[in-house]
Amino acid sequence: MLDKINDIKKEIQNFSIENEEELEAFRLEFLSRNGKVQSMFGLMKDVPNEQKAEMGKSMNEVKNLAQQTFDDAKIAIQKNDKKEFGALDDITLPVEPTYSGSFHPLTQALNEIKQIFLRLGFSIADGPELEDDFHNFTALNFPPDHPARDMQDTFFVRKSDDKDVDDLVLRTHTSPVQIRLMKEQEPPVRSIMPGRVFRNEAVTAKSYFQFNQVEGLYVNEKVTMGELIETLVMFARLMYGSDVKYRVRPSYFPFTEPSMEMDVWWENEKGGQWLEILGAGMVDPNVFQSVGVDPEKYTGFAFGMGVDRIAMLRYGIDDIRLLYDNDIRFLQQFKS
Ligand code: PHE
168-170 and 130-132 beta bridge pairing: antiparallel
Report CA(283)–ligand 1 centroid distance (Å): 11
Instruction: Report residue 175 CA to chain centroid gap.
Output: 27
This prediction has a pTM of 0.71
CB of 173 closer than 6 angstroms to any ligand 1 atom: yes
Is the distance from CB of 318 to CB of 312 less than 8 angstroms? Answer: yes
Report CA(180)–ligand 1 centroid distance (Å): 16
Digit-coded pLDDT (tens) for 305-320: 999 999 998 888 989 9
Q: Measured at the alpha carbon of residue 156, what is the angle toward residues 150 and 161, in degrees to the nearest 5?
A: 95
Report CA(261)–ligand 1 centroid distance (Å): 10
Tell me: pLDDT of 85 over 60. no
Digit-coded pLDDT (tens) for 13-62: 999 999 999 999 999 999 999 999 999 998 888 888 998 899 999 999 99
What CATH topology corresponds to 105-125+184-334?
A: BirA Bifunctional Protein; domain 2 (3.30.930)
Mind spelling out the 3-state secondary structure of 43-64? HHHHCCHHHHHHHHHHHHHHHH
Residues in the chain: 336
Look at residue 288 and give its three-state secondary structure. helix
Q: What is the rounded radius of gyration, in angstroms, for the C-alpha atoms of the chain?
A: 40
Distant-in-sequence, close-in-space partners of 41: CB < 8 Å, separation ≥ 6: 59, 63
Confidence of residue 129 (pLDDT cuts 50, 70, 90): very high
The closest residue, in CA terms, to atom 10 on ligand 1 is: 280
Phi, psi of 87 (to 5 degrees): -85, 170
Q: What separation in angstroms does the CA of 38 have from each of 41, 63, 70, 335? A: 5, 9, 15, 63
123-124 and 189-198 beta bridge pairing: parallel
Report CA(259)–ligand 1 centroid distance (Å): 9
Work out the mean pLDDT of the chain and round it to a whole number. 91
Report CA(260)–ligand 1 centroid distance (Å): 10
Report CA(173)–ligand 1 centroid distance (Å): 7
Tell me: pLDDT of 287 over 70. yes
Report CA(138)–ligand 1 centroid distance (Å): 15
Residue 335 has what pLDDT?
80
The closest residue, in CA terms, to atom 2 on ligand 1 is: 304
Confidence of residue 164 (pLDDT cuts 50, 70, 90): confident
CB of 278 closer than 6 angstroms to any ligand 1 atom: no
Per DSSP, 284 falls in state P
Which of 153, 173, 214, 217 is the pocket-test mutation for ligand 1 (most atoms within 8 Å of CB)? 173
The closest residue, in CA terms, to atom 9 on ligand 1 is: 303
CB-based burial, 236-270: b 16+ in 10 Å, e otherwise: bebbbeeebebebeeeebbbbeebbbbbbeeeeee
**Can you name the residues that pair with 260 across neighbouring β-strands?**
250, 280
299-306 and 123-124 beta bridge pairing: unpaired
CB of 110 closer than 6 angstroms to any ligand 1 atom: no
CA separation for the pair 138, 290 (Å, rounded): 8
What percentage of the chain carries pLDDT values higher than 70?
95
Confidence of residue 82 (pLDDT cuts 50, 70, 90): low
> In sequence order, what DSSP letters do the residues of 111-139 get, joined into one string?
HHHHHHHHHTT-EE----SEEEHHHHTGG
CA separation for the pair 117, 123 (Å, rounded): 8
Which numbered atom of ligand 1 lies nearest the CA of 197? 4
Which numbered atom of ligand 1 lies nearest the CA of 172? 4
Cis amide linkage into residue 105, ω under 30° from 0: no
Residue 336 has what pLDDT?
62
Report CA(305)–ligand 1 centroid distance (Å): 7
CB of 215 closer than 6 angstroms to any ligand 1 atom: yes
CB of 122 closer than 6 angstroms to any ligand 1 atom: no
Burial degree of 13 (CB within 10 A; 0-12, 13-18, 19+): exposed
The closest residue, in CA terms, to atom 7 on ligand 1 is: 304
